[in-house]
Amino acid sequence: MKKPATPKKASKTESSPWTRRVRGDFRAIGIIAKKKHPQGAAFAGEIAAWLEARRRRVLLDADVAAALGRPGLPRERIAARADMVIVLGGDGTLLSVARLVNPYRTPIMGVNLGSLGFLTETPADDLFPTLEEVFAGECLIEERILLSARLVRNRKAIAVHDVLNDVVINKAALARIIEMETVVNGKTVTTFKGDGLIVSTPTGSTAYSLAAGGPIVYPTIEAFILTP
Protein backbone atom coordinates (compact mmCIF):
# COMPACT_ATOMS: atom_id res chain seq x y z
CA MET A 1 0.00 0.00 0.00
CA LYS A 2 1.08 3.56 -0.58
CA LYS A 3 -0.40 7.04 -0.69
CA PRO A 4 -0.24 8.25 -4.31
CA ALA A 5 -1.17 11.71 -5.50
CA THR A 6 -4.77 12.23 -4.49
CA PRO A 7 -7.71 13.47 -6.53
CA LYS A 8 -9.42 16.56 -5.24
CA LYS A 9 -12.93 17.88 -5.13
CA ALA A 10 -14.32 21.34 -4.51
CA SER A 11 -15.64 21.70 -0.99
CA LYS A 12 -16.75 24.42 1.43
CA THR A 13 -15.34 22.72 4.54
CA GLU A 14 -13.08 24.48 7.01
CA SER A 15 -9.37 24.68 6.19
CA SER A 16 -7.06 21.84 7.32
CA PRO A 17 -3.71 20.34 6.26
CA TRP A 18 -5.69 18.40 3.64
CA THR A 19 -7.46 21.41 2.16
CA ARG A 20 -6.43 24.50 0.25
CA ARG A 21 -8.37 27.45 -1.09
CA VAL A 22 -9.17 27.47 -4.79
CA ARG A 23 -7.81 30.31 -6.90
CA GLY A 24 -10.89 30.32 -9.09
CA ASP A 25 -8.89 30.45 -12.34
CA PHE A 26 -10.31 27.26 -13.86
CA ARG A 27 -10.55 27.89 -17.61
CA ALA A 28 -11.15 24.40 -19.06
CA ILE A 29 -14.01 22.56 -17.35
CA GLY A 30 -14.71 18.89 -18.04
CA ILE A 31 -18.25 17.52 -17.74
CA ILE A 32 -18.73 13.76 -17.28
CA ALA A 33 -22.17 12.24 -16.65
CA LYS A 34 -23.35 8.81 -15.58
CA LYS A 35 -23.91 6.76 -18.73
CA LYS A 36 -27.53 6.43 -19.88
CA HIS A 37 -28.86 8.58 -17.03
CA PRO A 38 -32.21 10.02 -18.21
CA GLN A 39 -31.41 13.59 -17.09
CA GLY A 40 -27.62 13.49 -17.32
CA ALA A 41 -27.10 14.70 -20.89
CA ALA A 42 -29.75 17.44 -20.69
CA PHE A 43 -28.32 18.80 -17.44
CA ALA A 44 -24.80 18.64 -18.88
CA GLY A 45 -26.04 20.79 -21.76
CA GLU A 46 -27.39 23.40 -19.31
CA ILE A 47 -24.08 23.45 -17.45
CA ALA A 48 -22.11 23.78 -20.68
CA ALA A 49 -24.21 26.76 -21.80
CA TRP A 50 -23.82 28.41 -18.37
CA LEU A 51 -20.03 27.94 -18.41
CA GLU A 52 -19.62 29.12 -22.00
CA ALA A 53 -21.60 32.27 -21.19
CA ARG A 54 -18.86 32.95 -18.63
CA ARG A 55 -16.09 32.33 -21.16
CA ARG A 56 -15.04 28.94 -19.82
CA ARG A 57 -13.95 26.22 -22.23
CA VAL A 58 -16.12 23.11 -21.91
CA LEU A 59 -14.84 19.56 -22.49
CA LEU A 60 -17.78 17.19 -22.84
CA ASP A 61 -17.72 13.46 -22.20
CA ALA A 62 -18.14 11.70 -25.59
CA ASP A 63 -21.39 9.95 -24.59
CA VAL A 64 -22.95 13.19 -23.36
CA ALA A 65 -21.71 15.09 -26.41
CA ALA A 66 -23.27 12.52 -28.76
CA ALA A 67 -26.65 12.96 -27.06
CA LEU A 68 -26.35 16.75 -27.43
CA GLY A 69 -25.04 16.68 -31.01
CA ARG A 70 -21.78 18.35 -29.97
CA PRO A 71 -18.08 17.44 -30.21
CA GLY A 72 -16.85 15.32 -27.33
CA LEU A 73 -13.75 13.68 -25.90
CA PRO A 74 -12.95 10.33 -24.28
CA ARG A 75 -12.93 10.55 -20.50
CA GLU A 76 -9.18 9.89 -20.39
CA ARG A 77 -8.48 13.00 -22.50
CA ILE A 78 -10.81 15.13 -20.40
CA ALA A 79 -8.90 14.05 -17.29
CA ALA A 80 -5.61 15.13 -18.89
CA ARG A 81 -6.80 18.46 -20.31
CA ALA A 82 -9.34 19.86 -17.82
CA ASP A 83 -8.56 22.26 -14.98
CA MET A 84 -11.57 20.88 -13.10
CA VAL A 85 -14.07 18.09 -13.78
CA ILE A 86 -17.78 18.21 -12.92
CA VAL A 87 -19.13 14.69 -12.38
CA LEU A 88 -22.89 14.16 -12.73
CA GLY A 89 -24.28 10.98 -11.19
CA GLY A 90 -23.62 8.94 -8.08
CA ASP A 91 -20.61 7.67 -6.19
CA GLY A 92 -19.86 4.95 -8.75
CA THR A 93 -19.38 7.51 -11.51
CA LEU A 94 -17.19 9.70 -9.30
CA LEU A 95 -15.01 6.74 -8.27
CA SER A 96 -14.34 5.84 -11.91
CA VAL A 97 -13.44 9.45 -12.74
CA ALA A 98 -11.16 9.69 -9.67
CA ARG A 99 -8.97 6.93 -11.11
CA LEU A 100 -8.64 8.85 -14.38
CA VAL A 101 -7.77 12.25 -12.91
CA ASN A 102 -5.39 10.96 -10.23
CA PRO A 103 -2.18 11.29 -12.32
CA TYR A 104 -3.05 14.93 -13.08
CA ARG A 105 -4.36 15.94 -9.63
CA THR A 106 -7.41 17.49 -11.29
CA PRO A 107 -10.11 18.73 -8.86
CA ILE A 108 -13.48 16.98 -9.01
CA MET A 109 -16.89 18.43 -8.18
CA GLY A 110 -19.43 15.66 -7.61
CA VAL A 111 -23.06 16.53 -8.40
CA ASN A 112 -25.78 14.20 -7.14
CA LEU A 113 -28.49 13.38 -9.68
CA GLY A 114 -30.86 11.78 -7.21
CA SER A 115 -29.01 8.58 -6.30
CA LEU A 116 -27.34 7.77 -2.97
CA GLY A 117 -24.08 9.67 -2.79
CA PHE A 118 -21.56 10.20 0.00
CA LEU A 119 -19.04 11.65 -2.48
CA THR A 120 -21.33 13.45 -4.93
CA GLU A 121 -22.25 15.94 -2.24
CA THR A 122 -23.43 18.91 -4.33
CA PRO A 123 -27.20 18.76 -5.02
CA ALA A 124 -28.11 19.57 -8.62
CA ASP A 125 -30.20 22.57 -7.48
CA ASP A 126 -27.13 24.08 -5.76
CA LEU A 127 -24.65 23.58 -8.60
CA PHE A 128 -24.71 27.01 -10.24
CA PRO A 129 -24.44 29.02 -6.98
CA THR A 130 -21.62 26.69 -5.90
CA LEU A 131 -19.78 27.20 -9.20
CA GLU A 132 -20.04 30.96 -8.71
CA GLU A 133 -18.34 30.51 -5.32
CA VAL A 134 -15.67 28.25 -6.83
CA PHE A 135 -14.82 30.80 -9.54
CA ALA A 136 -14.76 33.56 -6.91
CA GLY A 137 -12.17 31.60 -4.90
CA GLU A 138 -14.56 31.11 -1.98
CA CYS A 139 -14.33 27.31 -1.77
CA LEU A 140 -11.68 24.84 -0.66
CA ILE A 141 -10.13 21.86 -2.41
CA GLU A 142 -10.12 18.80 -0.16
CA GLU A 143 -7.57 16.06 -0.83
CA ARG A 144 -8.29 12.36 -0.28
CA ILE A 145 -5.96 9.40 0.21
CA LEU A 146 -5.94 6.68 -2.45
CA LEU A 147 -4.76 3.08 -2.36
CA SER A 148 -2.47 1.64 -5.00
CA ALA A 149 -3.05 -2.12 -5.34
CA ARG A 150 -0.80 -4.58 -7.17
CA LEU A 151 -1.55 -8.22 -7.92
CA VAL A 152 1.77 -10.09 -8.07
CA ARG A 153 2.32 -13.59 -9.42
CA ASN A 154 5.74 -15.19 -9.88
CA ARG A 155 7.29 -11.88 -8.76
CA LYS A 156 5.58 -10.04 -11.60
CA ALA A 157 2.80 -7.44 -11.21
CA ILE A 158 -0.03 -8.58 -13.48
CA ALA A 159 -2.47 -5.83 -12.42
CA VAL A 160 -2.05 -2.38 -10.88
CA HIS A 161 -4.97 -0.15 -9.83
CA ASP A 162 -5.36 3.12 -7.89
CA VAL A 163 -8.61 3.19 -5.90
CA LEU A 164 -10.41 5.80 -3.82
CA ASN A 165 -12.63 3.48 -1.72
CA ASP A 166 -11.25 0.03 -1.03
CA VAL A 167 -9.45 -3.11 -2.14
CA VAL A 168 -11.14 -6.44 -1.38
CA ILE A 169 -9.29 -9.74 -1.06
CA ASN A 170 -11.71 -12.65 -1.52
CA LYS A 171 -11.41 -16.39 -1.35
CA ALA A 172 -11.78 -18.44 -4.53
CA ALA A 173 -15.12 -19.88 -5.61
CA LEU A 174 -14.50 -22.93 -3.41
CA ALA A 175 -15.81 -22.05 0.05
CA ARG A 176 -12.97 -22.24 2.55
CA ILE A 177 -11.08 -20.18 5.10
CA ILE A 178 -7.97 -18.38 3.87
CA GLU A 179 -5.01 -17.09 5.87
CA MET A 180 -3.63 -13.63 5.09
CA GLU A 181 -0.42 -12.16 6.45
CA THR A 182 -0.52 -8.37 6.82
CA VAL A 183 2.77 -6.50 6.36
CA VAL A 184 3.22 -2.71 6.68
CA ASN A 185 6.53 -1.14 5.61
CA GLY A 186 8.21 -4.54 5.67
CA LYS A 187 7.04 -5.41 9.19
CA THR A 188 4.46 -8.09 9.94
CA VAL A 189 1.43 -6.66 11.74
CA THR A 190 -0.83 -9.67 12.14
CA THR A 191 -2.32 -12.69 10.38
CA PHE A 192 -6.01 -12.85 9.53
CA LYS A 193 -8.08 -15.98 9.02
CA GLY A 194 -11.42 -15.65 7.30
CA ASP A 195 -13.18 -15.59 3.95
CA GLY A 196 -11.66 -12.24 2.92
CA LEU A 197 -10.18 -8.88 3.89
CA ILE A 198 -11.23 -5.31 3.05
CA VAL A 199 -8.48 -2.69 2.93
CA SER A 200 -10.20 0.69 2.93
CA THR A 201 -9.28 4.36 2.78
CA PRO A 202 -11.04 6.80 5.14
CA THR A 203 -13.23 7.80 2.18
CA GLY A 204 -14.21 4.15 1.70
CA SER A 205 -14.97 3.62 5.39
CA THR A 206 -18.67 4.34 4.72
CA ALA A 207 -18.85 1.78 1.90
CA TYR A 208 -18.23 -2.00 1.93
CA SER A 209 -16.06 -1.82 5.06
CA LEU A 210 -18.93 -0.31 7.07
CA ALA A 211 -21.31 -3.04 5.89
CA ALA A 212 -18.79 -5.63 7.14
CA GLY A 213 -18.63 -4.04 10.60
CA GLY A 214 -15.71 -1.65 10.08
CA PRO A 215 -15.43 1.80 11.69
CA ILE A 216 -16.38 5.14 10.16
CA VAL A 217 -13.25 7.28 9.78
CA TYR A 218 -13.16 11.01 9.00
CA PRO A 219 -12.19 11.39 5.30
CA THR A 220 -9.00 13.41 5.79
CA ILE A 221 -7.42 11.28 8.54
CA GLU A 222 -4.17 9.62 7.42
CA ALA A 223 -5.13 5.99 8.03
CA PHE A 224 -6.12 2.75 6.34
CA ILE A 225 -8.82 0.41 7.67
CA LEU A 226 -8.41 -3.38 7.70
CA THR A 227 -11.77 -5.18 8.01
CA PRO A 228 -11.72 -9.03 7.98
Active site residues: 91
Cα–Cα distances in angstroms (integers) from residue 46 to residues 52, 82, 129, 205, 212, in the given order: 10, 18, 14, 34, 40
- Among the listed residues 108, 68, 115, 56, the one whose alpha carbon sits nearest the alpha carbon of residue 91: 115
Comparing CA positions, the residue from 137, 107, 189 lying closest to residue 24 is 137
- Closest CA relative to residue 107, chosen from 139, 76, 83: 83
Q: Which of 189, 155, 182 is nearest to 167 (CA)?
A: 182
